[in-house]
Amino acid sequence: MIDKTGPAGADAGVDGLLAGLREVPNVHMVVVHFPLALLPVALALDVLGLMLGSRDLEVAGRWCLWMGTLAAVAAVVSGVDGADDVHPYVSDDAEALMTTHMKLQYGTTAAAIGLSLWRLFARAPFPERGRTVYLLLSIAMVGNLIVASDLGGQMVFVHGVAVRADGDSLQGGAEKGHDHHHHHDLL
């Protein structure tokens, strides 16, 4: 028999639809995944386009960059808004991570805007002049994005920022027989 109750005993019908999304305190945690995917894909498409001499891949890279840049702006705006909501509840360690995360993502977004403008004003799908500089800036932007996003992940998964922990969390609770901790080294 299938359990038809969703979160907080809600019927799995219309009330249960997108129940997890309704629990999100701020859209930042939804929006951040778009630049995190699109900006590295833009770089990969650019590199493949150059290696294979494919104009289509260069055009696809340009569109991924532009969409990733718009998403990065939305992530920064929603992140700043969300930070105001959680500041009173975070530890000093999480606060320090948040500050560094925000500063680094400002850099990612500024680089994405600059690269997007470069692509907008270049006549070809990929800039003819300054290709090496463009690629180096794009690589630096993606590297910065990865480091800053890891800090965001640490805030959520290590420090529990904006996470409602209860007996149904991954950590569980003693009432469910999860009164011990598991630590696994992946490397």
Percent of the chain with pLDDT over 70: 75
Confidence (pLDDT) at 167: 47
Average pLDDT for residues 116-130, to the nearest whole number? Answer: 92
Give the residue, 146 or 26, on which the prediction is more confident: 146
Instruction: Count Cβ neighbours within 10 Å for each residue of 11-32 and write b for 16 or more, e otherwise.
Output: eeeeebeeeeeeeeebbbbebb
Question: Is the full-model pTM beyond 0.85?
Answer: no
Residue 26, CB half-sphere, CA atoms under 13 Å: how many? Answer: 19
Other Cβ atoms within 10 Å of 107 Cβ, number: 15
The better pLDDT of the pair 147, 84 is held by 147
> Which CATH number is 25-161 given?
1.20.120
Q: How do residues 54-71 score in pLDDT, each as one tens digit?
A: 999 999 999 999 999 999
- Can you tell me the distance from the alpha carbon of 110 to that of 182, in angstroms, rounded to the nearest whole number? 40
Residue 1 banded pLDDT, cuts 50, 70, 90? very low
pLDDT tens for residues 2-27? 444 545 554 556 667 777 666 666 78
